[in-house]
Structure 1
């Protein structure tokens, strides 16, 4: 049985660094140089990592790529003025650990190894905020699967699949309007999120608005819950603050279903009220192969 990339599930995420790259060329020499660089990165990291690929690059690495039905992110434009722009790149590297030195050194290693092969299109350092809270003050990921098996079921392709133990990935950089959100009474904030702020208890019955974040993202299709495994990370500096959303799923459509519900693109015409206070500025889909397949790719 193939093994998933362990970084998907490693809990040592006090510090994170997200790197998104565009490959300079897709000719054979560049692809071979990329494989060698990724091998050197994998062999010399001193923190956890996940390596994932955009569709166009993946087609040059996997002769069974078509079996995935893997698509690029397409811009979403909701009827109420909200957008999620497509910023699809070729290579995603997520570095994370409890030691900031190790994560920073790993970022430097990636930059050194990929110099001349790939151009850095986005970098986003992030951090664990308090007890796993978003910068809005609400606990993030409360609905995540709790045990190992449930996490794997949500995040990984099953053993019956040609790409078993791989994972579809969605990344989005969301910039929060904290000044406006913080003007709201806590009770109003809780209605927007769908959970209590101090202890993250899900609202129930008439207390749960249909346009809350929980209501729009907690969905079943044919009685199957569209569960994701979320590993999102807050980021912030003096100029902007927000959340680098990171989700893993066994089916790419799970992301699309949730996003369409968030942006008011479903038949009910309801959108997620939370996106009035947070703007998506980057969005991309990726595929993170199993560790077994990744090792095969970078060594052949």
Structure 2
């Protein structure tokens, strides 16, 4: 990746995060404003990074298929950037929801996340409509709000780019990434009615120490069984997850914001099909009986170099 500035898709989930999804208004002026903002995004991030030097601040900007068509009509398009179509199973559905522009902001404290969020609002509120703004936090020792360690299946940091960043297969968009976002709500009353042993069988891991259950005790419907994807030779394919918890307890709202960065969206899509439609043995993900996705959108994360080129254009 020499001399190529890659957006920080492989960074850890962080202590705090904000996810923002916007749609672009229909007027031509809105497109010009978005292009201008995107062209200056790298400089904005550089400025904030210097201001909050020890905050582990970083941020990502991405575009959906429809946004790409409107913003960059004369540019080539990433090979797998298409509108996400819902995956409807017999019991559960991975919904498809609107979204043109996506931001993933991370920092040690929420005030730093707020700083960029407020700038985004100031500069884009007249030309966009907010679809979602979710504020997440690191829960305990990196657990999902349902109590289990999240991201255990992620590739090790030293090889994460191999799974999350595009290579020579799409040379026009090398070092970019596909980001799929889903916002899940958990039925905590139903979940907490299960014993710890029953919860462990839903997930496929021990709750206390995160050890994987043995084959003799793990159900075929366990989340870490069904959610895996394999290539034609039987090798497991991975993506990079930066999931984070969010909650409004007094509203009885408890959730996980799933964000999966992938070199190829087809890997993420295969995982979703396994979960919602059933894997090759016909088993669907038992966790979906307790966790419901209320959003689902695919975005492409270009390099910082691509964003900078918009100013030159």
Answer whether contact 1:35 1:299 (CA < 8 A) is retained.
no
The Cα shift of 1:79 comes to 1.0
Residue 38 (structure 2) aligns with? 38
Answer whether contact 2:38 2:307 (CA < 8 A) is retained.
no
Select the residue among 97, 104, 114 that pairs with 1:104.
114
| Number of equivalent positions | 296
Select the residue among 255, 273, 287 that pairs with 1:242.
255
Give unmatched runs, 5+ long, in structure 2.
49-56
The Cα shift of 1:63 comes to 3.9
Select the residue among 163, 167, 179 that pairs with 1:158.
167
The Cα shift of 1:185 comes to 0.8
In structure 1, how many angstroms separate the alpha carbons of the residues matched to 2:79 and 2:94? Answer: 23
Residue 74 (structure 1) aligns with? 85
> Given the superposition, is the C-alpha separation of residues 292 and 196 from structure 1 closer, same or farther in structure 2, using an over 3 Å criterion?
same
Give unmatched runs, 5+ long, in structure 1.
none
1:4-39 Cα deviation digits (max 9, x unpaired) = 202x13337211111100000263x33221122234
In structure 1, how many angstroms separate the alpha carbons of the residues matched to 2:129 and 2:62? Answer: 16
In structure 2, how many angstroms separate the alpha carbons of the residues matched to 1:177 and 1:298? Answer: 46
TM-score (norm 1): 0.93
1:49-75 Cα deviation digits (max 9, x unpaired) = 010100011123264444513211111
Select the residue among 156, 170, 188 that pairs with 2:180.
170
Residue 269 (structure 1) aligns with? 282
Answer whether contact 1:40 1:113 (CA < 8 A) is retained.
no
Q: Any idea what SS the aligned residue of 2:220 has?
A: coil
> Given the superposition, is the C-alpha separation of residues 70 and 26 from structure 1 closer, same or farther in structure 2, using an over 3 Å criterion?
farther
Answer whether contact 1:191 1:209 (CA < 8 A) is retained.
yes
> Given the superposition, is the C-alpha separation of residues 135 and 118 from structure 1 closer, same or farther in structure 2, using an over 3 Å criterion?
same
Q: Given the alignment of the two structures, is residue 58 of structure 1 paired with residue 68 of structure 2, yes or no?
A: yes
Select the residue among 4, 7, 16 that pairs with 1:5.
7
Answer whether contact 1:170 1:284 (CA < 8 A) is retained.
yes
Residue 86 (structure 1) aligns with? 96
Answer whether contact 2:107 2:113 (CA < 8 A) is retained.
yes
In structure 2, how many angstroms separate the alpha carbons of the residues matched to 1:165 and 1:175? Answer: 32
Answer whether contact 2:13 2:243 (CA < 8 A) is retained.
no
Select the residue among 130, 144, 155 that pairs with 1:134.
144
TM-score (norm 2): 0.89
Q: Given the alignment of the two structures, is residue 230 of structure 1 paired with residue 241 of structure 2, yes or no?
A: yes
